[in-house]
Structure formats: C-alpha cells, structure tokens
A and B are shown apart, each in its own frame.
Chain A
Amino acid sequence: MLYPSVGDEVKMKRTNTVIKIESRVAEGGQGVVFRGVDSGGHDLAVKWYRKNKYLERQYNQIENLTNYSRPHPSFAWPIDIVNHPTIVGFGYTMEWVEARFVSLVEVLKKKVQPNFRTLITIGIELNEAFSALHSRGLCYRDINFGNLLVDPYRGDVSIVDNDNIGSESSRQGIKGTLRFMAPELILGNSSPSIVTDLYSLAVFLFYLFMHGHPLEGQKVNASYTWDKGQEQSETVKVTHFFGREPLFVYDPSDASNRPEYDSPVLRWWDIYPEFFKGVFVKAFTTGLKEPSLMKRVTETQWRGALHQLNDQLFSCGCGAAVFKDFDIPDKRCWNCSMTPSSVPILEAPSGACVLSPGFKLTRHHLFKDFDYKDSIGSVEPHPNIPGELIFRNTSNISWIIEPVGEGVKEVKPGQRMQVRPMKMHFDKIGTTISNP
C-alpha cells in the first residue's frame, strides 16, 4: 500500500505507541495528512509521504526535527516518525490542529476582518514563534501562506508543515516559496538563514496588516503582459523584481512602484501611525538590499512595534477603529474623514498609550523590561456612563491617584477607577493621564 487507510494502525518509532488512523484530511504537495488517535484517545495528525526520489532526505530531515523539542506552542512540531509493516515509506506524527484554525490568507480575503487587537495578536504570536525558532539556531527555509493557520477570533497562531525547518548550516534542495524569499536567496547568493527568515517574516507581517505584497506595485504589474515581443520568461521577471532590483511599494525615494490603483494596500497603509509604517520602510529598503541582522528588522524590533501599535488603538466617534498618531496630531479617520475628538492618554515610561477598551497595562509599560504578559491594569467601558471608561487594577499592589481638582485616592487591587485627568503612582513609578 502507498498510504494508510482508515482503521490502520501505525507505530511510533521511538516509543512504539500505536496510532489508529481515523480519517483522511488532505492531500498536499508532499503527501497525505490523516487524523489519528492514540490509545489515550488523543487526536494526532499523521502525515504520510508520497513515494518519491527525495524520500530518504525527507526521512533524515524529519528524524532530525524530532530531536528538538517544540520551540513555541504555535508549531505543530513533528513528534516522531511512524511506520507500518506493509505501507511504503513512512510518516510522522504531530499535534492535531483544531478546526478553529483556518489559513491566514483565507481570513485576509474575507470581507469582514478580525478587529485590530486580533490582527495585532496574530502578528505578535507569529513574531514570537519565529523568535523562539531562531533562538534555537533553527530557520524556516520553505514558508508559505498555506502553512500559517490562525484562530480569527482569538488571534492564536498555528504553523503546520514544519518539514523544512533546519539548522542554519544545513543546506537542502527545496527552495522556498519565491514571493516570501529574501532577494539574496532568489539570486542564489546565500543559503537559508535567520537573516533570510527575517525577510519572510516582514513579508508576512506586511500581508497581515496591509493586505498585499510589499514589492508588487505598478512597476511589477506592468511587466505582467502576454504581448508578443514584450514577454520575458517568468524566471527573468522574478529574478529581476524580487531579487536583483526589488523596490518597495512605499519606497520613500522612489515612487515608481506604488500600489496599483485598485490595491487594498492603498487603503490599509494610510490607517497606521507613521512610526509603524517606518518599520516596514526599514524592512523593505535597507532590509531589502543589505542582508544582515543589523539592517533587517529583528523580532525584538517587531515586538516593540506591535505592542506600541496596540497601545495606540481606539475608536473614532463614528465607530471606526483608528490609531492615534503622535506624529500627525490632526490625522483624519479613514472612515468618516474627520479628526477624531481627543482621547485619554497615559504617559507611561515606555511611551504614550491611548486608554481605550481592551487596553492592557503590562510591566513593560512601567519598567521597560519586555514583560508583556503580566497584566497590571485593564481598560473597559464604564458600566453605567456611556462613553466613559474605567481602569481596573489587576495587579496586587494599590495605585495612588491624584485626579485633577480632587484629593489623593487609593485604587486597591481588583478595584476600578473612572478614567479622567490625573497623576498616577504605581509604586515608585509616576505617570499622568491627560485628555488633551
């Protein structure tokens, strides 16, 4: 047999654990994916390789990966090789990814988009997954959109098809998906590495927030022609526009490849604050041509930018989700074209934050220690007064506040306060809330 059938039992190589094949899920480029259960009744995914001339290499590749533990919870990481006495070749098991996960690209194509907090959460998770992989000296090599699954409601990320992950030094045949590949890889000047992954990460994030490819603008589009005499081979085109002379659609010094008039990128780009766009400009100008950890945007930089973006989100009076742009004070709303009325701003040591529903104050805001997990406070709509906000103390120490025109007050752990202009003290750290 070439593949397992429903009911077959395959065996994990190291532990001899038996997995019963329950259903056939999908057929992909390399093989067939099944759902199976172990004796404890837990779902597992089994991917069985199609017999082909690269089978031995694929085997070694997977076996190598099973020696690493999962770098980050987002990876559906290979657990073990599986075999069956009468089925050709081999497969491997990995964690079963639940149905709440759908491919990110499918989500981006939908008319109704997840809200910005969710989009940002997806970006943060993806960035953390890459960061965890890289801190182990592993890199991605072949990455494509189909392998990136997300929960569009919670912002969780799941990365499947990790077969092509490996250490930086190990060279292997498979070339990545071209539109996500760093120029130096396309030109064959280097092999896959953390530096080339950083480029792919930036392309993913650009897609996530801007809904298009960072290099596909008018100039590239003009080359897509089937006219006689004007055609170039696809290889020539790709090498040129994605390798030799890539040009960012928003390159500040060359406007010749701006997004096409009907591109969704036009609209999304305008929504974001200048500082955030600036990170993409770095990624796709110096980061495009000079492949190094210094010139590309690292996960640490993305982490800071994504959290800062989250701190600047609020709602315009018209109901549209908008970002405060501290560089453009009278920036207009993308929906109603008005300048939104003022919003309460918390001057935290890490930078100014807009207090809006869903905002979470973390240790990083106060101590700049990159701890974004520990929640100190959270903002919610006022339960009784429409349009007003409350700030809940979710930490275990009291806040001391001095609202303008009022006396000093204490907000105990678990207590809530109404948001209004004031001085605030979180232990030794002093901040203010203003409503300019």
Chain B
Amino acid sequence: MNDLNSLMPGGGISRRSLHFFILADCSGSMKVDGRIQSLNYAIASIAPTLINWEREQEQAQIFVRAIAFADQAWWHIESPQPIDLLNWVPLTHVEKGLTSMGAAIRMVADAISPEKFEPRSLRPVILLITDGKPTDVEEFEIGLRELFSLPAGKAAIRLAVAIGQGANVSYLSRFINDPDIPVLVAENVDQIAVKLTAATLAISKMSSIGSDRKQVSEQIILPAVNSFIQADDDTIV
C-alpha cells in the first residue's frame, strides 16, 4: 500500500489508575535464611508479570508504592511509580527490628482516605508480606478499623504472603477479611517468588471490573496454597 505515510492521529486510550501498595516486613527475623534477599528478588521477578498484564488489558495503569516496617513503618516508595518504570531499591532488615505491621496498615489507610486517594482510580491492591506477627497489636487493631471504615479500604484487593512457619496466619486472615481468599504461605525462601507470582496473577484477574473474586481464588490462589497449612491450626488429626 502506498498511503503508509499519511499522517494519523496519535494513539492512546483512557485508563484508570490501579494503585498497588506493597507492605514489606523488614524485622530482624527477615535476616534468617536470606529471607529479605528472597523478598527483594521476588518483587523484582513479579514486575514483568505485572508489566505484561498491564500491556494486555485496556482498563488499568499500574502505580506502585511500598511501605516497609520494623520498629516503625516508613515509606520505601512514597510517590506512585508507574510499574514499567519501577526501580526497586532492595530492602534490608533492621537488626533486632520489631514487626510494626499495625503502623504499616495505618499508613496505607491514610494514603487511601478520601482526601488523599485518586478519585477515579480502580480499587487499590494491598499486598502484605511478613514472616511474623504484629508486635504493635493495638495499632494493628486500630489500623484494621481505619482500613475497613474507608470505602477504598473495604473495596481493596487484600492479599498476604506469609514467609516460613513463624508467620501468624490468623492476623493475616483478619487483614484479608474474606473467607474465600486464603493466606499464601511460602514454606521456605524458594517459595517466596512462587507465591508472589500467584498473588500477582490473582491481583490482575481480580482487578478487572466485576470479576468473581471467589472463582479467581479457586483457580489461582487455592492451587498455590499448601493444603496442609490452614489458618492458625497446626493440630494433626
């Protein structure tokens, strides 16, 4: 064809922002077995999955933020970064650091409060990764109350990855607050990337407007859950 040089209007389609919050445990125990390194590696390795997904669908443009927590919680990435430009600066553990998970949840709740959260954005995604349980239990309770009092907090896609046997699944289940979505447990460091990938795939499916969370969970999360680790119960019958 000989009309290839005709000028075309510029491309682009309207999309809505999808804000993705990573809440990462940097407590002292994350040093064990190189957990923190595996976590860094796993986050870097899910980025291509997210980039791919973003490319193939028409609704969402992904922005990443990250909160780290140990003796306190702090922004690791404060201003939303487009996923394709994500530059993940590796996290390091805090020597003898506590697990201020509650403070981290309060921070994310603040970020998605109506005054601060982008109005037209899709429901946010909050991914919590830890190898322990909150040491700030009171804050944890307040954090959950704050989170669930917010429209965006209630609507959020909340997923959790527990690293090793020390992670307390019952706190994480309360954070997820959906009986259809189990906690993903990474038995050992090798599994962190595997579980995060499952979480990521589930996030991409659940983010599509009107998707059936339960069915996504059945197809993606359940197969990735080790059937012998359920909730807080380790009795053997």
Contact = CB atoms under 8 A, between A and B. Distances in A.
Contacts of B155: 231, 233-234
Contacts of B12: 108-111, 211, 264
B76 interface: no
B13 A111 contact: no
Interface in B49-67: 49, 52, 55-59
Given A145-B57, A177-B208, A224-B119, A271 B3 contact: no
B31 interface: no
Interface in B130-189: 150-152, 155
Contacts of A174: 215
Interface residues of B, number: 49
A51 B223 contact: yes
A358 B210 contact: no
Interface string A142-180: 001110000000000000000000000000011101110
Contacts of A27: 49, 197, 201
Interface string A95-123: 00000000101111111111111000000
Contact of A271 (B9, B117, B210): B9
Given A29-B219, A50-B219, A108 B114 contact: no
B13 A212 contact: yes
A320 B6 contact: yes
Interface string A221-244: 100111110110111001000100
A321 B17 CA distance: 32
27 contacts: A28-B201, A29-B216, A30-B219, A50-B219, A50-B223, A52-B222, A52-B223, A53-B218, A109-B12, A111-B12, A115-B3, A115-B6, A116-B6, A144-B208, A179-B59, A179-B208, A224-B119, A224-B121, A226-B152, A227-B114, A264-B12, A264-B14, A265-B14, A321-B8, A334-B9, A335-B7, A357-B2
A52 B151 contact: no
Contacts, number: 163
A207 B14 contact: no
Given A320-B6, A358-B3, A381-B2, A52 B13 contact: no
The winner among A262, A264, A356 for most chain B CB atoms within 10 A is A264
A357 B3 contact: yes
A221 B120 contact: yes
A319 B6 contact: yes
B57 A238 contact: no
A334 B6 CA distance: 13
Contacts of B52: 26
Contacts of B121: 224, 226
B85 interface: no
A52 B210 contact: no
Contacts of A177: 208
A293 interface: no
Interface of B: 1-14, 16, 49, 52, 55-59, 112, 114, 117, 119-121, 123, 150-152, 155, 197, 201, 204-205, 208-212, 215-216, 218-220, 222-223
A267 interface: yes
A216 interface: yes
Contacts of A313: 3
Nearest to A121: B1
A343 B158 CA distance: 59
A54 interface: yes
Given A179-B59, A315-B6, A357-B1, A52 B16 contact: no
A318 interface: yes
A431 interface: no
Contact of A226 (B49, B57, B151, B205): B151
Interface residues of A, number: 73
Given A216-B14, A264-B11, 8 more contacts: A29-B216, A179-B209, A224-B121, A228-B150, A234-B155, A315-B3, A321-B3, A358-B2
Question: Which 9 residue pairs spanning A and B have beta carbons closest together?
Answer: A178-B210, A231-B151, A146-B56, A321-B6, A357-B2, A358-B1, A320-B7, A113-B11, A226-B152
A188 to B, nearest CB: 12
Contacts of A260: 14
Interface in A364-417: 380-381
A230 B151 CA distance: 9
Contacts of B151: 226-228, 230-231
B120 A108 contact: no
Nearest to A145: B58
A242 B59 CA distance: 15
A68 interface: no
A318 B7 contact: yes
A137 B211 CA distance: 27
A147 to B, nearest CB: 9
A235 B210 contact: yes
Contacts of B211: 178
A268 interface: yes
A28 B208 CA distance: 14
A238 B114 contact: no
A113 B150 contact: no
A321 B7 contact: yes
Nearest to B149: A228
B49 to A, nearest CB: 7
A38 B133 CA distance: 51
